[in-house]
Structure 1
Amino acid sequence: MAGPRGEYRKTAERRTQILDAALEVFSKNGYTASSVNEIARVVGISQTGVLHHFTGGKMALLRAVLERRDAAARELLGDKQGRDFLRAMVEVSRTQRAQRGVVQLYTILAAEATDPDHPAHAYFTERFQVIADAVTRAYEQVRSDGGLREGVDPRRAALSSLASIEGLQLLWLDGLDVDIAEDSARLISSFLIEPI
């Protein structure tokens, strides 16, 4: 089936350009210090042009950038369960190496959004809860298959895994010699009878 045509294609292309510019600006300045006007300048259009494509302004842009990142992760995770889900988490981490700007933006925003008044606070709170629940289910499935080490609590393992991945991303951004994927795989495997 052919893709969008004419004006629809141009609109989709312009939205992609705007999202790419928003990613660049947010990654460089953080959300709070960025402006729609600056994003518009990067794209080469007016602020009104940006708002035509993203009603809701800067917050709508932020949400679209974050949703694009999450959609790529969901695609890798798919409907996997148990060990396959844990392996896919490592693959999501592996893709981060080619997306430094996205990782940097995510890390900055996650820190900024700890402020309850930040416009992305609810987004990150919900996101972390959903991910923690999904990883907990994966460890519970591994346990029900007899693959979890004795005494490992699935929720504690899930939270430790998430904390490790988040921390490794920050260390990597700061230039430390870490491999987000391999180091994450090692930690996850420490909870399992057989490594992933």
Structure 2
Amino acid sequence: MAGPRGEYRKTAERRTQILDAALEVFSKNGYSASSVNEIARVVGITQTGVLHHFAGGKMALLRAVLERRDAAAQGMLEGKHGRDFLKAMVEISRTQRGQRGVVQLYTILAAEATDPDHPAHEYFTQRFAVIADAVTVAYEQVRADGGLREGVDPRRAAISSLASIEGLQLLWLDGLDVDIAEDSARTISGFLTDPL
């Protein structure tokens, strides 16, 4: 029994190493200019070794890197509603400070994926729609509790909040003196009767 568990653990560790390398390579070069061969070199294995763990090649690696990032964020939002959901969004922004490579990769890919032919186009289109809907619901819940400023439309507040967070990430990557979390909290608080 110990043998398979050991093998499974080694496989899981190798997959993690490959995903870490994919993140590094994609963050540095963007998706289009990266190759599975380069990711394999970073890990110290062959391209065939990478494909053994990620049979779908570069696209499978990209999807796995993005899903790993999203899973962490979803964990922070799980079970949260209204103001608590909005606060959790700010906390997600706070975690970005220690994840420059992930933020850079996400920003590059989000820009590349505006091309309808990009392999991540559908992923980002769906992702933005799901997030915008979830943030809209949070603002609607805040409104139901009497916490939304008079005249604020929940959907417009959601779109403005997302645009602010995305823009702040880009400015931070470009070296401007911004605090993604605190500046995001200020934007969100502007829609609320009581600041976060």
TM-score class, shorter-chain normalisation, is over 0.9
Distance 1:106 1:100 in 2: 10
Give the superposed CA RMSD. 1.0
Aligned partner letter, 1:161: S
Percent identity between the two aligned chains: 88
Residue 166 (structure 1) aligned with residue 173 (structure 2): no
Distance 1:67 1:55 in 2: 16
Q: How does 1:64-75 map to 2 (within 5 A)?
A: 64-75=64-75
- The answer for the alignment partner of 1:115 in structure 2 is 115
Aligned partner letter, 1:185: A
Large movers: runs of 4+ above 4 Å: none
Distance 2:163 2:96 in 1: 16
Q: How does 1:14-25 map to 2 (within 5 A)?
A: 14-25=14-25
Aligned partner letter, 2:17: Q
**TM-score, with structure 1 as normaliser:** 0.98
Deviations 1:139-194 (A, max 9, x none): 00000000000000000000000000000000000000000000000000000000
Distance 1:75 1:137 in 2: 18
Shift of 1:79: 1.4
**TM-score, with structure 2 as normaliser:** 0.98
Q: Number of residues paired by the alignment?
A: 194
- The answer for the alignment partner of 1:128 in structure 2 is 128
Q: How does 1:23-172 map to 2 (within 5 A)?
A: 23-172=23-172
Distance 2:90 2:157 in 1: 15
Deviations 1:52-72 (A, max 9, x none): 000100000000000000000
Distance 1:8 1:84 in 2: 38
Distance 1:81 1:153 in 2: 17
Distance 2:6 2:94 in 1: 37
Distance 1:78 1:40 in 2: 35
Distance 2:192 2:105 in 1: 32
Distance 1:169 1:136 in 2: 21
Distance 1:79 1:160 in 2: 23
Shift of 1:102: 0.1
Deviations 1:79-117 (A, max 9, x none): 100000000000000000000000000000000000000
Partner secondary structure for residue 5 of structure 1: helix
Distance 1:28 1:75 in 2: 27
Distance 2:108 2:77 in 1: 24
Distance 2:79 2:59 in 1: 30
Distance 1:128 1:187 in 2: 19
